Amino acid sequence: MVVIKLIFIIAVVSAIVYSLLKKYNPQSVLLFGGIVMVLGAMLFNWESSLVALDFMRKGKTTGSSFFDIFFHLQQLFSYRLGGLGLTIMAIGGFAHILSETGASNELVYYTVKPVSKIRNPYLLIGLFYIIGAFLSLFITSAVGLGLLCMVTIYPILTGLGVSPLSAVGMIITTECMDVGVLSTNTLRASEAAGVDIATYFTGHQLKIFIPTVLVVAIAHVFWQKYQDKKSSYVPSEHKASVDSFERKAPGIYALLPLVPFILILIFGRKDSALRIGVPTAMFVSTFVVIFFELVVKRKFKAIVEVMENYFAGMVKVFPAVSLIVCAGFFADGLIAIGAVEMLVNGSTALGFGGVAVTILMAFVIAFLAVLLGSGNAAFLSIIKLVPNIAANFGVTSLTKMIVPLNLVAGVGRSVSPIAAVVIACCDIAQVSPFDAIRRSAVPMAAGFITILVTSFLLL
């Protein structure tokens, strides 16, 4: 029976991987895969599943195991839309109004202005990567940050002689770690670790984020130079005058993206007398933007436009919420059929310890991110398994396992030819996504290794 179950799991997973590679809708594929997995769990003795009670939500049942599958899906949507889904949509709405008002552009302008006159093209690549990584703390959408960099940083780099592939290869990695109190993956990771999001960021993520950013920046410098030399690209032959930076908002707007970040850092801790969550911080920050718009434009219509853009931004990110729900349902299906138990038992039989299992799971998440083109979907489909895996292998510090898994998801997305950020940036630069990920592959490999090593040494 165990062998038959294993063959069934491999067949279903293979079909899902094939479908994703064929670019079928990932929500539909993952949802269908989850349903098939749960039906398989029923076929292979449902009552023996360790998570049968989870599907029944501690006794809540329709009275039919078959209908309970869809009841569980209903509860997943209800839970995600009211919690994580609301957070994602609140962040998406705020990010959209920052873009529409020009606040994001102002932040980039004042960040890049001090270093824009440096003439060494490869040193610029490293420096602009560090700037992009810093901006990722505030602009948590990989696509949003990537497109912003393509509009602002890309013309500066190419104007100074940087090859289009080198510039794009760097830009698609600026959000290679989902870090910061505004990140969806950070939010879910902190929940799984049992730590408030502000403490998780300052006390755990930053220890890994800072050295990894430096390593990736250095890797970009040498790898892009090597690749340009290999393709006979000479930067000095492609230098041009840098066009003036297009601005559409007052300089003080550069402070607006920092408002929610500051609010969460100050009031997001569990021990804070005044405590607010991420959605609340987004709503407060939105009204700060409205205030600025009223002062600058002196028209009531400014309020309407800001709110209209806010709601439009919320709608735009809803597909990410549905993807998270479907990925979570598929993960639940894997748990229900016993795939995780088989993984844990197999690892135990191989003599794996906590460190080895963490490395194995890091490779799994990165691989899923490459296949899905989404760091969120890869991480959120696995994170719920981590506490059980940690308990089975005697891992006493959940953060030591969760932090590296949290960070490598974005690394995998940065080398995925189907990732939205890769496709969008390559479309603007008119380069091949496969050529672009060859430019990002080695820096991301260096980042992957650095994340694991520093996690084991510093956490």
pLDDT of residue 260: 81
Render pLDDT for 397-415 as a digit per residue (tens, 0 to 9).
Answer: 778 889 999 999 999 999 9
Q: Which of 72-76, 238-242, 343-347 is least confident?
A: 238-242
Q: What is the pLDDT of residue 147?
A: 73
- pLDDT category, 56, cuts 50, 70, 90? very low
Per-residue pLDDT at 174: 93
E strand or H helix at 265: helix 258-267
The confidence score (pLDDT) of residue 344 equals: 57
Alpha carbon distance 426, 433 (integer Å): 6
Please report the pLDDT score of residue 340 as a whole number. Answer: 63
What is the pLDDT averaged over residues 413-437? Answer: 84
Please tell me the predicted confidence (pLDDT) of residue 50. Answer: 43
Q: Buried b / exposed e across 294-323, counting CB within 10 Å, b at 16+?
A: eeeeeeeebeebbbebbeebbebbeebbbb
Please give the average per-residue pLDDT across 244-253, as a whole number: 76
> pLDDT digits over 182-206, tens only?
788 888 888 888 888 888 888 899 9
**pLDDT value at residue 415:** 92
Asked if 76 and 328 touch (Cβ cutoff 8 Å), the reply is yes
Query: Quick check: 126 and 218 in contact, CB under 8 A?
Result: yes
* pLDDT bracket for residue 48 (50, 70, 90): very low
pLDDT at 365 over 80: yes
pLDDT at 168: 94
Name the pTM for this structure.
0.69
On the question of pLDDT at 332 being above 90, the answer is no
